[in-house]
């Protein structure tokens, strides 16, 4: 198994890159996807959130109203801390289990984690950063995802800076342009990943011979 981290700020296009790597054969463990699964109705995580924040965070059908939660936590550091205390341990346990399931397999495993740089919960063998100018990311969030500019800025302010992410990067995927302009950068990233995997395999083979 080759374990890699994939991160990028909100609005960077990280999910697009993640999906493209999955299409090329990577096993993607999507932290946001795990969160959504654990916050489904009937689960302990959603129950704990309702107990803390009240049933005002639920939609009429009993599912989580994510915007209602965002309206609470992104303007209140203590409430954000409380949310993280509920969600992060459960998510960490599930991600750990998915990594362990891949441990003995010969797969490229990509951890798609928005806060990989901020929290450093794992030790991947390489970190891929999807890099986007913050103003371009802000424009995407407002135009394509329905965020208000204030909400988008608040979320961005809670994340690592562009410079902090780039300082942790082993490979950078630039994404300031169109999907067509992004495609060759994804191809280059996949080539880099396979070179890394090949180098790891050679090193392990040499070690086995020495022993």
Residue 81: CA atoms inside 13 Å, Cβ hemisphere, count?
3
Outline where DSSP puts E strands in the chain.
2-8, 27-30, 108-112, 127-131, 171-174
Distance CA 175, CA 190 (A): 15
* Nearest partner of 107 among 186, 200, 170, 171, judged by Cα: 200
pTM of the predicted structure, to 2 decimals:
0.86
pLDDT tens figures, 51-75: 999 999 999 999 999 989 988 988 8
- Look at residue 20 in the predicted model and tell me its pLDDT: 97
* Nearest partner of 147 among 49, 36, 10, 3, judged by Cα: 10
Distance CA 83, CA 157 (A): 17
pLDDT tens figures, 152-179: 898 898 888 999 999 999 999 999 999 9
- Look at residue 98 in the predicted model and tell me its pLDDT: 94
Q: In the chain, what percentage of residues exceed pLDDT 90?
A: 72
Mean pLDDT of 180-206: 92
């Amino acid at each position: 198994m080759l374990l890699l981290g994939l991160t990028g700020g909100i609005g960077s296009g990280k999910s697009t890159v993640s999906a493209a790597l999955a299409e090329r054969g990577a096993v993607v463990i999507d932290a946001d996807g795990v969160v959504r699964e654990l916050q489904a109705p009937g689960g302990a995580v959603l129950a704990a959130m309702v107990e803390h924040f009240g049933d005002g965070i639920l939609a009429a059908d009993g599912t989580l109203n994510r915007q209602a939660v965002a309206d609470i936590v992104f303007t209140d550091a203590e409430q954000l801390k409380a949310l993280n205390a509920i969600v992060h341990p459960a998510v960490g346990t599930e991600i750990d289990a998915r990594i362990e399931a891949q441990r003995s397999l010969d797969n490229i495993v990509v951890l798609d984690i928005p806060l990989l740089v901020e929290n450093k919960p794992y030790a991947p063998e390489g970190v891929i950063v999807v890099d986007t100018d913050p103003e371009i990311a802000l424009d995407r969030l407002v135009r394509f995802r329905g965020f208000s500019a204030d909400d988008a800025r608040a979320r961005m302010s809670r994340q690592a800076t562009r410079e902090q992410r780039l300082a942790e990067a082993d490979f950078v995927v630039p994404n300031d342009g169109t999907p067509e302009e992004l495609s060759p950068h994804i191809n280059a990233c996949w080539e880099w990943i396979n070179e890394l995997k090949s180098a790891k395999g050679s090193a392990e083979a040499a070690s086995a011979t020495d022993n």
